[in-house]
């Protein structure tokens, strides 16, 4: 039984050692890849040959390694001012009213509005001021009930006033 325990311990230790070796190899190759990508970046940007003179290529290689070790540096960039386009406010007011044969309007009421609380009064005034003469048959003595939707569009520049 003791030999079975030792065999299991050896197997577990072997798996741990192989896993650590695989992780180390992977890290090693990733480091090389990072260094190569940094070197490509430096060449693309045109920073090669910065360290001309004796031992220049060695100093350049050291600078590349340091760049890889530190990684890209975060720095704040100024954000450009963003122009916000003017927005319009659009909506409607639904008005119900009674029109009589002589064109008179009565029992005017708002039955709906989007957005609410902005142009209901103006819509009521518009309906009351409209001329409905000749639009209702004289036989309709009690008047004709109608519904109108008054639409509106207000540019943002007028809303600021």
Q: What is the pLDDT of residue 89?
A: 76
| 8-state DSSP, 115 | S
Confidence of residue 20 (pLDDT cuts 50, 70, 90): confident
54-101: pLDDT as tens digits: 555 666 677 767 766 666 666 666 666 666 556 777 889 999 999 988
Q: What is the pLDDT of residue 71?
A: 63
Provide the CA 124 distance to its chain's centre, in angstroms: 39
Task: Give the torsion through C-alpha atoms of 38, 40, 41, 45, to 10 deg.
Answer: 140
Average pLDDT, the chain: 76
Q: What is the pTM of this model?
A: 0.43
Confidence of residue 153 (pLDDT cuts 50, 70, 90): confident
One of 3.20.20.70, 3.50.50.100, 1.10.10.10, 3.30.1150.10 is the CATH number of 88-159, namely 3.30.1150.10
Secondary structure (DSSP) of 48-107: TTTT-STTHHHHHHHHHHHHHHH-PPP---PPPPPPPPP-EEEEEEEEEEEE-TTS-EEE
Angle at 99 between CA 94 and CA 102, to 5 degrees: 150
Q: What is the pLDDT of residue 38?
A: 60
Q: What is the pLDDT of residue 43?
A: 61
pLDDT at 51 over 60: no
pLDDT at 46 over 90: no
Q: What is the pLDDT of residue 119?
A: 84
Residue ranges matching CATH 3.30.1150.10 in the chain = 88-159
Q: Per this entry, what is the length of the chain?
A: 161
């Amino acid at each position: 039984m003791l030999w079975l325990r030792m065999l299991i311990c050896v197997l577990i230790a072997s798996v741990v050692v192989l896993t650590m070796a695989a992780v180390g190899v992977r890290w090693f190759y990733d480091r090389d890849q990072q260094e190569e990508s940094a070197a490509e970046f430096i060449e693309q940007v045109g920073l090669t040959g910065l360290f001309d003179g004796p031992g220049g290529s060695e100093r350049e290689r050291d600078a590349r390694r340091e760049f890889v070790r530190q990684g890209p540096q975060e720095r704040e960039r100024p954000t450009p001012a963003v122009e916000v386009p003017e927005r319009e406010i659009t909506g409607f007011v639904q008005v119900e009213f009674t029109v009589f044969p002589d064109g008179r309007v009565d029992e005017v009421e708002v039955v709906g509005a989007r957005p609410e609380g902005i142009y209901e009064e103006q819509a009521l005034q518009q309906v009351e001021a409209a001329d409905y003469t000749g639009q209702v048959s004289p036989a309709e003595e009690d008047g004709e009930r109608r519904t109108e939707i008054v639409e509106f569009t207000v540019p943002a520049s007028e809303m600021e006033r």
